[in-house]
Amino acid sequence: MKLIPILLLINTVAFAQTSQKKKIGEEIEGHFLGNGKAIVATATKTKEAKGNPIENGTPAEYEIRFSDKKLKPIKIGCCEMTLINEGDLDNNGADDLSVFQAPMNGCTYSMTTYSFINGNWRKIVDTFLIPTGCESINHNDLQKMIFRENKNIYYLEKDLIDENGKLIKKKATK
């Protein structure tokens, strides 16, 4: 008889973990239309790579697809990416989306932030580079890279002159 309550507890914990909205990864959930409806965004490979692009090969291509067809896919190009639900940065009532993207070659990633405005995806933070030294960046640090403060949007950029890669707060200009 003691087994039944334990099984119920395990089932409840497992359901709670799978029903949480994922804010970062290759598949995330957000209110990207601003209507309160949860929508899933997925990083999708649309073209397979053929050889090394540096040696005249063809790189893989990616886009972000959405579970609601009202949202047009965002063509990203090369290469693999991590999606980040940024919440409502531009105060338009809809969640915004950042893309942390691997380089075609090397260790300097890029970050771009989009908002769905008037039926189209628009950059609200210009693309900026994130040198990683070929080390991984944890999800907590990625989620802190773009933020809203006093009605302005900011991003953190590494100071390339500082040997420790100190982060500098910069105001987004879009």
Residue predicted with more confidence, 81 or 133: 81
Q: Mean pLDDT over residues 61-77, rounded? A: 93
- Report angle CA 31, 113, 144 to the nearest 5 degrees: 85
Alpha carbons 70 and 92: distance in angstroms, whole number: 17
CB contact at 8 A, 43 and 62: yes
Q: What is the pLDDT of residues 75-127, one digit of tens each?
A: 998 888 999 999 999 999 999 999 999 887 788 999 999 999 998 999 999 89
CB contact at 8 A, 81 and 62: yes
Residue 54's pLDDT band, with cuts at 50, 70 and 90, is low
Q: Residue 21: what pLDDT?
A: 66
Closest alpha carbon to 97 in 4, 29, 21: 29
Three-class SS state of 108: strand
Q: What is the pLDDT of residues 5-22, one digit of tens each?
A: 333 333 433 333 333 567
